A and B are shown apart, each in its own frame.
Chain A
Amino acid sequence: MIKAEGLRKVYDGFELNCSFEVMPGTIVGLIGPNGMGKSTTFKAILGLISTDGGKATLFGKDVAQLTAEDRQQIGVSLAEAGFSSYLTVKGIISILRQMYPVFDAAEFKKLCERFRIPLNKQVKEFSTGMKAKLKVLVAISHGAKLLILDEPTAGLDVGAREEILDMLRAYMEEDEERSILISSHISSDLEGLCDELYLINEGKIVLHEETDVLLNEYAILKVKDSQYASLDKSYLLYRRKENYGYSCLTKERSFYQENYPDIVVEKGTIDDLILMVMKGEKV
């Protein structure tokens, strides 16, 4: 669905240089702190900005060659952009009707009602949650094969975030060929949704793993200085100096649990793992 190979964009003081892939039928998450290249990556693969190297393909086609018909197969929600906030949802419906041949206005209105989105109010009068839900509804409204969602849950409370994630799960259940590329700095949102996760930091992919592997096989070891000295470091990825000694990230939880029963081995959340990669040093 999406393939980015050595995708490069240089700004003053920032360089994006990343490769990743989204296969049909999968949900791929791009996680990382704000300002580390998530939105730039999205803009590059959507052809909104020029690139300084590398290649991005969607549906096997170079992004610059995408036609209007190709774009009908993509649903997009961007963090800081959307339809003009002077429009009403009714107005947006009439636009979508013209833009997408398979747009189902009745179903869209039904979903708006379900998510308490008023049809006759201007979008600028909406709450943050209503705006975010509308963006996702627009993206999923026209049977797209691919969704590209940049921070769709940013700034929302837990309830609203869960509603959006449920919408995405329902969208995926309708067709097993569909794919989603989604970014968030709230990794817990992606934990229960994504098949694979890419961690981006300072414009580079620093970790790529299946979510299940990340949650089940990765672990954080908490060791004293003396324990660290005698530890087999072959399977350590990152380490971080702590008051008590070191915390270390490993992909071989079972190995350390079995061979070092006296050290603390924590499964850790995705956030813990991210912190290790971001703040730690490579072993």
Chain B
Amino acid sequence: MKGLLVKDLQILRQQRRFLLLLFGIICFLMITQAMTDPAFIIGYATFMSAMVLLGTVSYDEIENGYTFLFTLPVTRKSYVVSKYVLALVGVILVWTAVTVFCMVFAGGKTGTAWMEEMLTQAVPVLLVCLILLFIMLPIQMKFGAEKSRIVLIGIAGIIVVAGYLLKLLADKLEGVLSYGKAIVEKLATLDIWSVLGIMILLTVGVMLVTMYVSIRIMEKKEL
């Protein structure tokens, strides 16, 4: 697996111009916005890092890359695990760096105020970005860079249609919806630690399920 991680780092190294540009944009945002809108900067940087790491899957796929990759001393399972390790470590590293920077430059805020902002904004941003990345990984592995975009648009479309149908059938589904409403109301009464706990559990759950799905996808892939 170490070899696979080195491969991804080498691929990222070849994107250094783009990454430097991205770093420049984030630095600019941090210097100008750290005091007023740290959550936006943390969200932007974390999401962009997730997209860059997801991009390494495309680099493996192009020019029949998978075909050669799996003649090397790696298993398809270790390939998937290496992608999740890279995603997790990479995203958390970027998130930590940007969050610490914002904390240092946030200025004026006391420990408690900062902690509150972190818990209500920065940590949820990290978890949402990780969930998105974990969902994208198997889609990208299954459909490839080109088709996965269409699949994502399709999923977004289905969500919109489902929401519209739900609205249309709101009267008939009153019973079911009242359950949902009750859950939301219940969540609203929970303290921040409980909400974060649920979110972390959800993130870990999504990671494990999508990793299992990704392994199945890769093991069935005809190269």
Interface residue ranges, A against B (CB under 8 Å):
43, 46-50, 67-69, 71-72, 74, 76, 78, 80-88, 91-92, 94-100, 122, 148
Other than A46-B70, A91-B10, give 5 A-B pairs with Cβ distance below 8 A.
A48-B70, A48-B71, A84-B62, A92-B10, A148-B71
**Binary flags per residue of B1-28, CB closer than 8 Å to A gives 1, else 0:** 0110011001101100000000000000
* B side interface size, CB within 8 A: 25
Q: Which of B32-40, B73-81, B109-117 contacts A (4 or more CB under 8 A)?
A: B73-81
Docked-complex contact B13 and A81, CB < 8 angstroms? no
Interface residue ranges, B against A (CB under 8 Å):
2-3, 6-7, 10-11, 13-14, 59-60, 62-65, 67-68, 70-75, 78, 222-223
Closest 6 CB pairs of A and B: A91-B10, A98-B3, A81-B64, A99-B3, A76-B71, A81-B68
6 A-B contacts, Cβ less than 8 Å apart? Answer: A50-B222, A68-B75, A76-B68, A84-B7, A84-B62, A98-B3
The CA of A83 and the CA of B67, in the complex, are separated in Å by 10
Chain B residues with CB below 8 A from A100, complex form: 73
Kindly provide the distance from the CB of B82 to the nearest chain A CB, expressed in whole angstroms: 11
Chain A residues with CB below 8 A from B74, complex form: 68, 71, 99
User: Would you call the interface of chain B mostly helix, strand, loop, or mixed?
Assistant: helix
Docked-complex contact A87 and B11, CB < 8 angstroms? yes
The CA of A69 and the CA of B141, in the complex, are separated in Å by 25
The CA of A84 and the CA of B62, in the complex, are separated in Å by 8
Docked-complex contact B14 and A87, CB < 8 angstroms? yes
Docked-complex contact A68 and B222, CB < 8 angstroms? no
Kindly provide the distance from the CB of B218 to the nearest chain A CB, expressed in whole angstroms: 12
The CA of A67 and the CA of B76, in the complex, are separated in Å by 11
Kindly provide the distance from the CB of B57 to the nearest chain A CB, expressed in whole angstroms: 12
Chain B residues with CB below 8 A from A80, complex form: 63-64, 67
Docked-complex contact A98 and B6, CB < 8 angstroms? yes
The CA of A50 and the CA of B220, in the complex, are separated in Å by 8
The CA of A85 and the CA of B68, in the complex, are separated in Å by 12
Kindly provide the distance from the CB of B147 to the nearest chain A CB, expressed in whole angstroms: 20
Kindly provide the distance from the CB of A239 to the nearest chain B CB, expressed in whole angstroms: 40
Chain B residues with CB below 8 A from A87, complex form: 7, 10-11, 14
Which residue on chain A has the smallest CB distance to residue B62?
A84
Kindly provide the distance from the CB of A138 to the nearest chain B CB, expressed in whole angstroms: 9
Chain B residues with CB below 8 A from A86, complex form: 11, 14, 59
Docked-complex contact A94 and B10, CB < 8 angstroms? yes
The CA of A145 and the CA of B13, in the complex, are separated in Å by 33
Docked-complex contact B7 and A82, CB < 8 angstroms? no
The CA of A87 and the CA of B59, in the complex, are separated in Å by 10
Kindly provide the distance from the CB of A172 to the nearest chain B CB, expressed in whole angstroms: 20
Which residue on chain A has the smallest CB distance to residue B13?
A91
The CA of A82 and the CA of B70, in the complex, are separated in Å by 10
Chain B residues with CB below 8 A from A84, complex form: 7, 11, 59-60, 62-63, 65
